[in-house]
Chains A and B, each alone.
Chain A
Amino acid sequence: NAGVTQTPKFRVLKTGQSMTLLCAQDMNHEYMYWYRQDPGMGLRLIHYSVGEGTTAKGEVPDGYNVSRLKKQNFLLGLESAAPSQTSVYFCASSNGLANYNEQFFGPGTRLTVL
């Protein structure tokens, strides 16, 4: 099992450009999450999904959109990138049997917006 994978690993964008980050998991997990991690701020939840076709806002959703068209994939979109979105983005998934189950994280995407 590959677990949780993220593409790309690194990306540099100019202000105003758009991009999509892809997260894939092969564990048949119901729940998927997108976080951003900034120095001194810890992991902050952007959006999450509790099943295929569902999405919900987390703590810091502004400037991001998500889609969960297939159970194994969770996409994070930036429509018009801003320097404040420079961060490391982590995707995670967890088993839907219990909503407190451990989260499995991907390796992260380092995004720089110039």
Chain B
Amino acid sequence: SQKIEQNSEALNIQEGKTATLTCNYTNYSPAYLQWYRQDPGRGPVFLLLIRENEKEKRKERLKVTFDTTLKQSLFHITASQPADSATYLCALHTSGTYKYIFGTGTRLKVLA
């Protein structure tokens, strides 16, 4: 069956370190993958999109990689700050459809 897996355990990291979050998928052939940030009590906010033919995408302190062989995307936050504490969601999009399938999210806590 199709599945998207993100670390269900919360990730605690010290301020200033690089946080790495994982999104693994099975039985999908996504053309695009997005990452969103969600704060408690709020809707998700878009961060980055990466296409299947792109290996890496960067935006300020954020970096996303996409390995279609491993069926995995990694999301990195460098020089992490307490304000980066939130839940991060990955979402897969398959060509020919109008919808995304979301992972369950990973809660990140950056300790001061």
Contact = CB atoms under 8 A, between A and B. Distances in A.
Q: Kindly state the interface size class of chain A when it binds its partner.
A: 20 to 34
Nearest to A31: B98
Contacts, number: 56
Nearest to A6: B43
Nearest to A104: B46
Interface string A100-112: 1011111110000
A108 B43 contact: yes
Interface in A42-90: 42-45, 48, 50, 56, 58-59, 90
Nearest to B45: A105
A26 to B, nearest CB: 16
A10 to B, nearest CB: 11
A42 B97 contact: no
Contacts of B43: 4, 90, 92, 105-108
A1 interface: no
B79 interface: no
Contact of A42 (B41, B99, B102): B102
Contacts of A41: 104
A103 B100 contact: yes
A99 B31 CA distance: 11
The list of the 8 closest CB pairs from A to B, nearest first, reads A105-B43, A102-B46, A42-B104, A43-B102, A100-B32, A100-B93, A42-B102, A99-B98
Interface of A: 4, 31, 33, 35, 40-45, 48, 50, 56, 58-59, 90, 92, 99-100, 102-108
